């Protein structure tokens, strides 16, 4: 480590937030010899019941961090995405786009969010994970940052990583007072057991049904014999946790093909996680001298391109590499932002594009990303 003459092992980092971004940052920093402590306000690390798709650039980091096999063992490889009409007619069937230089990597690895976060947490030493630590005050000095927690504890570190999500207080206090932008849409998500009961037994295709303002995302998790079911619908109600009844959800999917209706009919409202969707506008800058943002805190985006968690994890990899390869924290933070922000800016824009019955492609990012990667 060349950082200000410090050995990697003596740089101290406090990561605020134990979501995908914070947990990935802890694993990534550890993989380059930096001891980072993770502080999460909740008293346990939990993820909502839902599936997620991991793209090859993200999975390449898992190899570097030594967690590839542990994660891959809990995934299913998917090669195709479909956009369908409500009645099940396929409008587009397309292979996942190539985001790397390896022709064989036209896939997405489908995983349950809880399995994913659990694997990260299994690879962070227990003494570096601090639950029930809500950061309430941060003071940046020339040579260190003080972090004060609601429980009365305080730490002094060289660098703070704000991985505190879309409503980041760290962003608000140090970087930008931008407010989350409502997408005027809700997402109702649940994981359904017994995938084989619904006629999707050996199917690894990721499907998006569209019917006017209603979209149903079906992400198969065959290794768990489950399906992740996500109903997204336009709504003027922008409360973070909208109130919705099971009858209203059943009504939304009443025109959909029988397999979709059957899934909805098997669920009760308690099975769903319901939230309004928000993103933020791209920020001009992610860092001060000793505080930086990562994941949704830096670039929250909508879920239409399934990219937010992938971006958070890739941020973690880029930040760790920049710290490993720089002479100062400031240089590292500049490198980190220079590498990541052009990519996340594009994904933020693309993620506002939702699939429609008129979509020409399932992956509007395809051409753009081949260009950005050049």
Residues near ligand FAD (CB under 6 A): 16-22, 39-42, 52-53, 134-135, 163-165, 169, 187, 189, 230, 277, 295-297, 303, 306-310, 312
State the nearest-atom distance from the C-beta of 84 to ligand FAD, in Å.
18
Any idea how long the chain is?
374
Residue (142 or 270) nearer to ligand FAD, CB: 270
Nearer to ligand FAD, 175 or 277 (CB): 277
Q: Which is nearer to ligand FAD, 240 or 258 (CB)?
A: 240
Q: How far is the CB of 6 from ligand FAD (least distance, A)?
A: 25
Closer Cβ to ligand FAD, 1 or 263, answer by number: 263
Q: How far is the CB of 318 from ligand FAD (least distance, A)?
A: 14
Q: How far is the CB of 309 from ligand FAD (least distance, A)?
A: 3
Query: Is 40 or 365 the residue whose CB approaches ligand FAD more closely?
Result: 40
Residue 52 CB, shortest distance to ligand FAD, in Å, is 4
Q: Least distance from C-beta 2 to ligand FAD, angstroms?
A: 28
Task: Using alpha carbons, select from 245, 239, 237 the residue that is nearest to residue 268.
Answer: 245
């Amino acid at each position: 480590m060349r950082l200000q003459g410090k050995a990697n092992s003596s740089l101290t980092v406090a990561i605020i937030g134990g979501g995908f971004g914070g947990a990935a940052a802890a694993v990534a920093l550890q993989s380059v010899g930096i001891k980072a402590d993770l502080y999460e306000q909740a008293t346990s690390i939990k993820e909502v019941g839902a599936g997620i798709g991991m793209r090859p650039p993200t999975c390449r980091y898992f190899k570097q961090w030594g967690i590839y096999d542990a994660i891959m063992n809990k995934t299913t490889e998917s090669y195709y995405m479909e956009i369908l009409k409500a009645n099940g007619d396929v409008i587009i069937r397309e292979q996942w786009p190539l985001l790397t230089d390896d022709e064989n990597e036209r896939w997405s690895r489908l995983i349950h969010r809880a399995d994913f976060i659990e694997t990260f947490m299994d690879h962070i030493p227990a003494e570096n994970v601090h639950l029930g630590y809500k950061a309430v005050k941060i003071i940046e000095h020339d040579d260190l940052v003080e972090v004060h927690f609601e429980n009365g504890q305080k730490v002094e570190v060289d660098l703070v990583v704000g991985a505190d999500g879309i409503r980041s207080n760290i962003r608000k206090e140090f970087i930008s007072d931008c407010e989350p932008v409502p997408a005027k849409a809700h997402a109702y998500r649940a994981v359904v057991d017994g995938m084989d009961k619904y006629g999707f037994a050996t199917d690894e295709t990721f499907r998006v049904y569209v019917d006017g303002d209603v979209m149903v995302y079906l992400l198969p998790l065959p290794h768990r014999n489950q399906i992740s079911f996500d109903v997204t619908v336009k709504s003027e109600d922008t409360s973070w946790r909208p109130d919705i009844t099971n009858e209203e959800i059943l009504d939304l999917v009443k025109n959909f093909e029988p397999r979709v209706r059957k899934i909805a009919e098997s669920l009760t409202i308690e099975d769903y996680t319901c939230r309004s969707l928000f993103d933020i506008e791209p920020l001009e800058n992610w860092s001060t001298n000793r505080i930086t943002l990562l994941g949704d805190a830096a670039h929250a985006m909508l879920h239409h391109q399934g990219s937010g968690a992938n971006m958070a994890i890739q941020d973690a990899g880029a930040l760790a590499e920049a710290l490993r390869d720089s002479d100062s924290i400031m240089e590292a933070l500049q490198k980190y932002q220079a590498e990541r922000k052009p990519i996340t800016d594009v994904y933020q824009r693309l993620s506002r594009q939702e699939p429609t019955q008129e979509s020409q492609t399932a992956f509007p990012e395809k051409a753009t990303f081949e260009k950005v990667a050049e």
